[in-house]
Amino acid sequence: MTATIAAELRDAVKVYRSGLLGRRELRALDGVSFRVHAGEVVGLVGPNRAGKTTAVKTLLSLSRPSGGQAFRFGLPIADRRTLSRVGYVPERPSFPPYLSAAEVLDYYGTLALVPAGERRRRIPALLERTGLADRAGEPVSRFSKGMVQRLGLAQALINDPELLVLDEPDEGLDVSGRELLHEALAEQRGRGRAAILVSHAIRDVEIACDRVIALAEGRLVRRPEPHPAGGPHRGAAGALEPATPATRTGALP
């Protein structure tokens, strides 16, 4: 039986236009196809400007593709109901500075349609887990960069997501903060859920991910390899393959 496909891009194209009459075009995504299955943690890597953030923003309905298709849990991304099943830590999380950490989590939990009883149960547990419990009542304006990153992770977990998307979440995190990330990713895998980690920290990707998808200049340069659902975590290192013609034409694993 095929594992649930939590996220998929099919020949996705994103063109940004600039200059006179929009004549200059930049192809942030140029025919990118990949799938992320339930039960696997996928690393999305590549140099600056490769299109990594554009790819995840497309999967999150934050960027409208110029061509191709994108799906969450088998449904087109235009169907926004599936967003409540996703947790997302953006590249530079920021929160209303006058809210406390507990209020931020309550706010985002409400937006993600988490029932009040669940929010009351989850918020203290997440604050404890992310090491913010002793500062839970303080306004976020007093938080350090690493604390904001930790709150970003707690925020992404408030709805117990089936797909967790982390866009360079390791910026500013200390060793225990990185361990926290690895634990969250391992937990996703262990519970048969999916995760995408965008990172330049190759060591973190090797430790945390089952396989790697690499982009460069808006194109896939490595072919994703299917991960047997429920199979042992073998690390990302063995999952790389050279680019193939199939990759270029958008054929899916």
Ligand X SMILES: Nc1ncnc2c1ncn2[C@@H]1O[C@H](COP(=O)(O)OP(=O)(O)OP(=O)(O)O)[C@@H](O)[C@H]1O
Rounded to 5 degrees, what are φ and ψ at 217?
A: 50, 40
Pick out residues in 52-91 that bind ligand X (CB under 6 A): 52-54
Is 100 an interacting residue with respect to ligand X (CB under 6 A)? no
Is 171 an interacting residue with respect to ligand X (CB under 6 A)? no
Q: What residue type is assigned to position 56 of the chain? A: V
Stretch that binds ligand X, among 3-11, 49-57, 179-187, 226-234 (CB under 6 A): 49-57
Count of H helices and E strands in the chain? Answer: 7, 10
Binding mask 188-227 for ligand X (x = CB under 6 A): ----------------------------------------
Contact 9, 197 (CB under 8 A): no
CB of 52 to ligand X, least distance (A): 4
Among 16, 92, 110, 234, binds ligand X (CB under 6 A): 16
Three-state SS at 198:
strand
> In terms of CB distance, is 63 or 188 closer to ligand X?
63
Alpha carbon distance 20, 26 (integer Å):
14
- The number of CA neighbours under 13 Å toward the Cβ of 11 is 6
Stretch that binds ligand X, among 42-50, 123-131, 140-148, 220-228 (CB under 6 A): 42-50
